Structure formats: C-alpha cells, structure tokens
C-alpha cells in the first residue's frame, strides 16, 4: 500500500496544485451529505476545481515544475508504465507490462550491441557477424533469454539496429 501512495505522488502533487483547502474540505464532507444531494455537490466541486485551475493557469503561465511534471532529463518509461497501471483496467495493466518487457528487451539489445562494439574494438580481427559466430559471441548470446536472443538477432539485422554484416 505504501508503494501505491509513493507511486501516486505526482498525481497528488498535481491535485494539490490545482485545488484549494476549501475544495478539499468539500470532498471530505461529500460522503456525509444526503445521498440525493451528493451528485450535485460532486458536480459543484468539479466546477470549483475547473474555475480555480483556469484562474491559476492565467496567473502562473509557467510549466508544472512544482508537480515534477516538467523534467528536462529523459523520462523513465518503465516507471511511467508502473504509475499508469495504478489507474488502469486489468487489460491495460497487461498491455503496460508488455511495454515494460519490450523496454527491458530494448535495453538488453542496446547493452549487447555496445558490448559487441567494444569487443570489436578490443579484438579487431574477430568477426562479430552472426554468420561467423565466434566463441565470444556465443558466450554473450548464451547470457540472453531465448526471447532476448531472438530480439537481438532481429534488431541487429534491421536497418536501424546496426546491421553488423553491412558495416564492413
């Protein structure tokens, strides 16, 4: 449970930035209001939030750096998937997990490519293409899962994957 609260910190920061204590008090009171009036109060709360947000953005036209939403560095996409899953349906969670697995595979392929390039610099006479399959290449490929190895082969032969066979 603490994990979910920590992961939802950016959502809470956003909500805190675009609301007032008065609006938060109304949200706390909502369950205690007569049921027939709750939907009207809920609409009123959202209306007040919209009004406050419009006024706030007019007065503060800068980015949302206070919420951690404008980060100059490269975003952590796996963390983003994890945070989105807190608000997703089971099917969407499954898709986000697939994206996380794909991102992990891309990172592994990138690391393998860097390792292979470094090995080629250290041992320039070693043929690193998939046809030659030197012992070092076999050792590195054995470190991958079968899915990762297949992904490496696919990307190393694609036009953007650094086709080693055409780099000579």
141 CB neighbour count, 10 Å cutoff = 16
HSE value, Cβ hemisphere, 13 Å, CA-based, for 39: 1
Residues in the chain: 168
3 CB neighbour count, 10 Å cutoff = 9
Within the chain, residue ranges assigned H as helices are: 2-7, 9-17, 21-29, 35-59, 77-85, 90-122, 135-142, 146-157
Report the predicted TM-score, pTM, of the whole model to 2 decimal places: 0.51
Closest CA to 162 of 98, 106, 123, 110: 110
pLDDT for 72 equals 56
pLDDT for 102 equals 87
Provide block-wise average pLDDT over 10 residues at a time, the chain (168 residues). Answer: 60 83 91 94 95 90 57 76 88 92 85 81 65 63 77 66 43
């Amino acid at each position: 449970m603490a994990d979910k609260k920590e992961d939802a910190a950016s959502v809470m920061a956003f909500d805190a930035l675009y609301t007032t204590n008065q609006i938060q008090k109304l949200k706390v009171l909502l369950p205690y209001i007569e049921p027939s009036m709750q939907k009207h109060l809920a609409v009123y709360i959202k209306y007040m939030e919209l009004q406050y947000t419009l006024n706030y953005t007019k007065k503060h036209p800068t980015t949302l750096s206070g919420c951690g939403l404008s980060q100059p560095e490269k975003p952590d996409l796996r963390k983003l998937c994890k945070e989105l899953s807190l608000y997703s349906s089971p099917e969407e969670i499954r898709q986000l997990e697939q994206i996380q697995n794909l991102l992990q595979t891309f990172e592994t392929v990138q690391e393998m490519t860097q390792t292979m390039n470094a090995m080629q610099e250290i041992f320039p006479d070693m043929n690193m293409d998939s046809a030659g399959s030197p012992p070092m290449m076999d050792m590195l490929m054995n470190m991958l899962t079968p899915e990762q190895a297949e992904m490496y082969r696919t990307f190393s032969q694609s036009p953007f994957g650094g086709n080693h066979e055409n780099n000579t």
